[in-house]
Structure 1
Amino acid sequence: MDIKYRLYPYPVLASFNDDYNSSKFHVNAECVLDGFDICINYSVELENDQIRELIAKGKACIVFHLESARTGYREARETDKLNGKIVIKDSVLNGDLSFCPFIIAKENIPGYFNNDFNEDYTEPFNFEKGYLIAIGNQMVWPITKNNIDLLNSSSPFKIGLNPDETISNMVVDFESQPKIRILLSAKDLSCYINMKNTPELKSILNSAVVVPALMYVLSELKQCEDMETAFGSLSWYLSIKESYLKNFKKDITVDLANENVFELAQKMLKTPINDAFEDLTTLGGHGDDEEDDDNEI
């Protein structure tokens, strides 16, 4: 969607007209890659007390229209916050991402008059629900995806049988190993093999097996004083290091200390837990109409 410089039958706050005398609606935004997510960090400059009051009372809202023409992605995000973040899965984007900010009426606003109207406007207006109150500055960002998927054919993980039959729990072995070895009991491995080629179960299996394994490895790396010396020659470490650099624009030897490994492991594996819940719903899960007050299990 492109913002059109057009005339409206009522006053609209915009940079391309003079319907308001000294008011301002401008959005500062940056588009950054965060793993397999595209994040838009925004800050709204809104210089008009009466419009700000409409938003505060829920009569109006800020809307960000997002569109990627090449993929057919189109979405409107509504907020009453002047500062925030919008997160979009990179899988729905390709080519340019268009970002258009607006302020719209959420309900009918009869007899609206703004003290900063141009002197040509002397009478109040009846704003209907959906009317544009303000139009901001459009931005377009090229989306270039060169992510490294740790779950692809060159994955640093290898799932196999634990030779110790006395151990029933999952074991993660990575020290001095070319790949992160996830060892399962014979029973668990048999179940995994039977299910791994079922598309609807892939994200569920990754959430149950690979995510905790990566969390454990990241936790160990985080505590390591010199991870380059300890693991620099191992292929699994090089894969994780490269993924961290390309997907997050960060150096694992410097920045890992400040990361939440629970969140990071999910992001590095394309957030399979979110997909797992969707797949479980498809496979037969359902939500109760009545929820527990504390949402306890």
Structure 2
Amino acid sequence: MEIKYKLYPYPVLSPYSNDYKEGIFQPTIDIVRDGYNLRIDFVASLTSKSLLECIRTGVAKYVYHIECAQTGFRTVVQTDKVSEVYTLLSKSVNGKLQICSFVVAVKDITGYSSPEFHDDYKGRSFDIEAGCVMAVGKMYTVDITKDIDDLANTPSIFNITRNPDPSCKQMLVDMSQRKIIIKLPMNDFYSYKALSTTPQAQAILNSLTVVPALVYVLEELRAMSPQERSENSDTLWYKVLSKALLTQFDCDIEDEAFDTLNFMILAQKLINDPLSDAFAFMTSSFGVAGGDE
């Protein structure tokens, strides 16, 4: 969505018109990496007293329209707060990301007028319907480059195998090999193998196997001294894991700060947060309602 130099039948505060003789609307938008995802920080800078009063009384809100044409992703963030944070899943975007900022009426406003209007509108009032734009900020455009480490790709450092011991009914994890070996009981392994042919089921499989296996590996590493951890440096899984932690999470696996991390949260982030996709697939498959209440 690109902001056009649109004319409105009522005064709108914008950088390309003089409908208001006073006031500016120019939000600051910062995008920072949060693991594999992106955190968008919005800080609204609005100096129009009339529009600020509309937001204060709940008849208008700040609205940020986020769109990625390449992936077809689009969403709207609506808030009455000066500062707002939105987490954008990296799998949702690729290439050019556009963010447009507005102040939008969320309720009908009867007889809206302002001493900040240009003299051409002096003494006039306007009926603003809910959904109408009242202020427009400059469009923010950024190129999102995919830089997802192979850790989110299951075959990279994990190997799902059948446990040859028929008496074992639990999943086991072996981190002594080049890859992390996840051993499943025979029946579970063949169930996994059958489900793995369905791409939509991958999030469920990752949640059931890879995430708990990764939590186990991270906990085992925490129990080691930094020097003991480095003894795994010849293995593929350790190289990929340490690189992902350093580049995506700014964490050195051989630093003491590693011990303070929440490994349940970290494991999910390292595998690109599969839980939401897993629940979405299951609710759609079983025909039950999900999402927001």
> For 1:165 and 1:277, how far apart are their aligned partners in 2?
31
Corresponding residue for residue 295 of structure 1: none
Instruction: State the one-letter code of the partner of 1:284.
Output: F
Quote how far apart the aligned CAs of 1:42 are. 1.5
Corresponding residue for residue 10 of structure 1: 10
Task: Evaluate the alpha carbon distance shift between residue 221 and residue 207 of structure 1 in structure 2; reply closer, same or farther with a 3 A threshold.
Answer: same
Deviation by residue 1:75-96 (Cα, 9 ceiling, x = unmatched): 3332222212222333332221
Task: Evaluate the alpha carbon distance shift between residue 14 and residue 269 of structure 1 in structure 2; reply closer, same or farther with a 3 A threshold.
Answer: same
> For 1:173 and 1:39, how far apart are their aligned partners in 2?
34
When structure 1 is superposed on structure 2, of 254-263 and 134-143 the one drifting more is: 254-263
Corresponding residue for residue 59 of structure 1: 59
Counterpart mapping for 1:5-154 below 5 A: 5-120=5-120, 121-152=122-153, 154=155
Quote how far apart the aligned CAs of 1:164 are. 4.6
Deviation by residue 1:228-250 (Cα, 9 ceiling, x = unmatched): 52422221111112223444455
Task: Evaluate the alpha carbon distance shift between residue 111 and residue 4 of structure 1 in structure 2; reply closer, same or farther with a 3 A threshold.
Answer: same
Tell me if the contact between 1:35 and 1:147 (Cα under 8 Å) persists in the aligned partners.
no
Task: Evaluate the alpha carbon distance shift between residue 259 and residue 138 of structure 1 in structure 2; reply closer, same or farther with a 3 A threshold.
Answer: farther
Q: SS where residue 45 of structure 2 aligns? A: strand
Task: Evaluate the alpha carbon distance shift between residue 173 and residue 56 of structure 1 in structure 2; reply closer, same or farther with a 3 A threshold.
Answer: farther
Deviation by residue 1:22-56 (Cα, 9 ceiling, x = unmatched): 42322111223334423312211222344233224
> For 1:84 and 1:46, how far apart are their aligned partners in 2?
14
> Which 5+ residue runs of structure 1 have no aligned equivalent?
292-297
Tell me if the contact between 1:148 and 1:246 (Cα under 8 Å) persists in the aligned partners.
no
> For 1:21 and 1:253, how far apart are their aligned partners in 2?
58
> For 2:252 and 2:22, how far apart are their aligned partners in 1?
46
Q: SS where residue 91 of structure 1 aligns? A: helix
> Which 5+ residue runs of structure 2 have no aligned equivalent?
none
Tell me if the contact between 1:149 and 1:269 (Cα under 8 Å) persists in the aligned partners.
no
Corresponding residue for residue 294 of structure 1: none
Corresponding residue for residue 207 of structure 2: 207
Task: Evaluate the alpha carbon distance shift between residue 48 and residue 276 of structure 1 in structure 2; reply closer, same or farther with a 3 A threshold.
Answer: same
Quote how far apart the aligned CAs of 1:165 are. 4.4
Q: SS where residue 25 of structure 2 aligns? A: strand
Quote how far apart the aligned CAs of 1:277 are. 0.8
Q: SS where residue 54 of structure 1 aligns? A: helix
Tell me if the contact between 1:26 and 1:44 (Cα under 8 Å) persists in the aligned partners.
yes
Task: Evaluate the alpha carbon distance shift between residue 26 and residue 260 of structure 1 in structure 2; reply closer, same or farther with a 3 A threshold.
Answer: farther
> For 1:9 and 1:219, how far apart are their aligned partners in 2?
62
Tell me if the contact between 1:146 and 1:246 (Cα under 8 Å) persists in the aligned partners.
no
Instruction: State the one-letter code of the partner of 2:27.
Output: V
> For 1:47 and 1:201, how far apart are their aligned partners in 2?
50
Q: SS where residue 190 of structure 2 aligns? A: helix
Tell me if the contact between 2:68 and 2:93 (Cα under 8 Å) persists in the aligned partners.
yes
Quote how far apart the aligned CAs of 1:104 are. 0.8
Quote how far apart the aligned CAs of 1:274 are. 1.1
Corresponding residue for residue 288 of structure 2: 286
Counterpart mapping for 1:221-236 below 5 A: 221-226=221-226, 228-236=229-237
Quote how far apart the aligned CAs of 1:214 are. 1.0
Instruction: State the one-letter code of the partner of 1:274.
Output: S
> For 2:156 and 2:28, how far apart are their aligned partners in 1?
38
Quote how far apart the aligned CAs of 1:70 are. 2.9
* Aligned partner of 1:277 among 279, 287, 293: 279
> For 1:21 and 1:274, how far apart are their aligned partners in 2?
47
